[in-house]
Amino acid sequence: MTQMSTFAAPDVALPDGRLYVAGEWERGTGAEITSVFPADGSINRVLKGASRADGERAIARAKAAQADPAWRGLKPHERARHLYAIADGIEANADRIAAIQTRDTGKTLRETGALAASAAATFRYFGAVLETSDEDLTTRRGDALTLSVHEPLGLVAAITPWNSPIASDAQKVAPALAAGNAVLLKPASWSPLVSLELARIVDEAGLPKGLFSVLPGAGREIGNLLVEHPDIAKVSFTGGTETGRRIARQAAEKLMPVSLELGGKSPTIVCADADLDLALAGVLFGIFSSTGQSCIAGSRLFVERPVYDAFVSRLVAATKALKVGHPHDPATQVAPLVHLDHRAEVADHVARALAEGAKLLCGGGAPEGELYENGSYYLPTILARVTNADRICRDEVFGPVLVVMPFEDEDDLIALANDNDYGLACGIYSRDFPKSWRLGRAINAGTIWVNTYKQFSISAPFGGEKDSGMGREKGRQGIRAYMAQKSFYVDVSGTPLPWAAAQVMT
Ligand code: NDP
């Protein structure tokens, strides 16, 4: 592992810390938030987050803007133009967005550049979906034309985590705006800046004022207000399972729809017949890219017994060779974790696993050297001699920590893979496609990757089962999650309704 390398830090002005309150730039009046650069612990910005009063002001303005015929009355192709303009703005500012997100989260510039590109694609895709989604003429079963139309819900709250803010923001904001709603976005307190940059782009793209807000602030204050407020018609949440459960309980009280994208402990499976080079590259990327801070991280590895020893020894060697480095260094593969507090949590998981009998194959601590001194770096870590019932195999670590276990046969494997509270994703490496298909159908997960991992397309619906959440984002139907369906019966007989007629069309 090399320690120092030369690289240039991008020279960008960070957002000045004002909030975007329904189209107006205002200083927050809530609790202070500090954005830190995880590579060296330097402070990016200290800002005042949104208070309840700020949130209530944003909601009132958003309500008026959403009801305005200037927005509500737009035809789909007219509204789509706003989404295309935002996509253009993101593309034009991609380097800035990448640099700001790297400052906020510590992710490599290569990764944040890809996330910016994906955010632009998301706005473009939902503009196109909006323009090309037909309303439904439903089959006639009586003397009425029956059709089904889709209307905006009203005000949508989007609550996002810190790990991939621009991408998770876009995944919610784009379909919700396309559907004709106003959106109030609450980013995570560790990563407020890139969402404020998105607000600048949306503002410059000419979205009518009031329709979009970015309200960084404490989850328990501003997040909670958005969930409970009677004018908020839907919450789209990505984050931890316990927060999601709490939001679902509050939503039940209001009878409000929610979509919840939550945590994971995803199994990756290497069968004895797999192309082992391909599997090795996929397993490494699946767990250690984004420094493991990914809901879909392939964090539980099952290797078929005949190839277990050989595969694990190659995996450990390849893991030790990964370049742990500064996020501005183009050669870096594993960047720092988001925050020192988060590193402490990751370290606790590993320490507990070791105390419970796990065997450390590599990693297990912070790297040493001048470069790493003030950053929140953690070495890619592999633990063996664990059972699927151990806490380290059940809890989401959300860091670069992989557990490895052998499996004997398909039945054994399916039982192990499914014996977990989560059900977000799964990777299968095998040359036998019918076997991959059988396994993929039997394993509880919202996404199955075969001979690849962590590849994403905006056109493929995404979401989890069990404790990984409910609802699906992305895909053509993603826009419908932000709409209310309304059915029309339009009489075509022109005759008065006889009193005795059956009220049910058979
Ligand atoms: P949290 O659940 O702690 O936070 C997520 C968001 O919710 C933040 O904006 C947070 O604000 C806010 N929040 C916290 N408490 C409340 C509350 N009471 N009411 C309303 N909002 C609240 O998760 P993390 O930020 O730690 O994110 C990591 C988690 O996200 C992991 O479990 C990961 O698996 C999951 N995730 C899931 C993805 C998926 O698509 N399935 C994708 C990415 C991550 P604040 O920051 O101010 O606390």
The finding on whether 180 has its CB within 6 A of some atom of ligand 1 is no
> 144 near 505, Cβ under 8 Å?
yes
Residue with CA nearest ligand 1 atom 14? 219
In 3D space, the residue among 416, 381, 379, 411 whose CA is nearest the CA of residue 265 turns out to be 416
Interval 285-305: pLDDT, tens: 999 999 999 999 999 999 999
> 471 near 481, Cβ under 8 Å?
yes
Res 353: pLDDT: 98
Cα distances (Å, whole numbers) of residue 282 to 81, 136, 493? 38, 42, 62
Burial class of residue 208, CB neighbours in 10 A (0-12, 13-18, 19+): middle
Residues in the chain, overall count: 506
Per DSSP, the residues of 36-74 read E-TTT--EEEEEE---HHHHHHHHHHHHHHHHSHHHHT-
> 407 near 303, Cβ under 8 Å?
yes
Verify whether residue 323 is a known catalytic residue: no
Q: Count CA atoms within 13 Å of residue 453 on its CB side.
A: 31
The finding on whether 240 has its CB within 6 A of some atom of ligand 1 is yes
In 3D space, the residue among 56, 121, 113, 114 whose CA is nearest the CA of residue 86 turns out to be 121
Residue 220 DSSP one-character state? I
Res 497: pLDDT: 86
d(CA 166, CA 412): 40
List all residues 6 or more positions away from 465 whose beta carbon is below 8 Å from its beta carbon.
Answer: 423, 424, 444, 445, 446
Please provide residue 249's backbone torsions phi and psi, each rounded to the nearest 5 degrees. Answer: -65, -45
Alpha helices in 213-320 (DSSP H): 224-228, 241-254, 276-288, 305-320
189 C-alpha to center of ligand 1: Å?
Answer: 10
Res 10: pLDDT: 87
d(CA 378, CA 340): 10
Q: Which two tokens stand for residue 203?
A: 């503002």
List all residues 6 or more positions away from 7 whose beta carbon is below 8 Å from its beta carbon.
Answer: 326, 328, 329, 330
Q: Which atom of ligand 1 is nearest to the CA of 264?
A: 34
For the chain, domains (ranges, CATH) are 19-262+468-487 (3.40.605.10), 267-450 (3.40.309.10)
Res 1: pLDDT: 40
Res 503: pLDDT: 63
Res 2: pLDDT: 40
Burial class of residue 11, CB neighbours in 10 A (0-12, 13-18, 19+): exposed
The finding on whether 464 has its CB within 6 A of some atom of ligand 1 is yes
Interval 152-170: pLDDT, tens: 999 999 999 999 999 999 9
Cα 136–Cα 139–Cα 140 angle in degrees, nearest 5: 120
Please provide residue 191's backbone torsions phi and psi, each rounded to the nearest 5 degrees. Answer: -140, 60
d(CA 361, CA 392): 15
The finding on whether 161 has its CB within 6 A of some atom of ligand 1 is yes
Verify whether residue 261 is a known catalytic residue: yes
188 C-alpha to center of ligand 1: Å?
Answer: 7
The finding on whether 111 has its CB within 6 A of some atom of ligand 1 is no
Res 8: pLDDT: 78
The finding on whether 399 has its CB within 6 A of some atom of ligand 1 is no
The finding on whether 245 has its CB within 6 A of some atom of ligand 1 is no
d(CA 17, CA 20): 9
Q: Which two tokens stand for residue 356?
A: 């419970």
Cα 306–Cα 309–Cα 315 angle in degrees, nearest 5: 120
Catalytic choice (261, 304, 426, 466): 261
The finding on whether 346 has its CB within 6 A of some atom of ligand 1 is no
In 3D space, the residue among 176, 69, 63 whose CA is nearest the CA of residue 130 turns out to be 176
Buried b (16+ CB within 10 A) or exposed e, 265-275: bbbbbbbeebe
Residue among 34, 107, 159 to mutate when testing ligand 1 (max atoms within 8 A of CB):
159
Q: What share of the chain is helix, strand, coil (3-state, %, to 5)?
A: 40, 20, 40
Res 501: pLDDT: 56
113 C-alpha to center of ligand 1: Å?
Answer: 22
90 C-alpha to center of ligand 1: Å?
Answer: 24
Verify whether residue 473 is a known catalytic residue: yes
Residue ranges in the chain modelled with pLDDT below 50: 1-5
332 C-alpha to center of ligand 1: Å?
Answer: 26
The finding on whether 447 has its CB within 6 A of some atom of ligand 1 is no
161 C-alpha to center of ligand 1: Å?
Answer: 4
Verify whether residue 172 is a known catalytic residue: yes
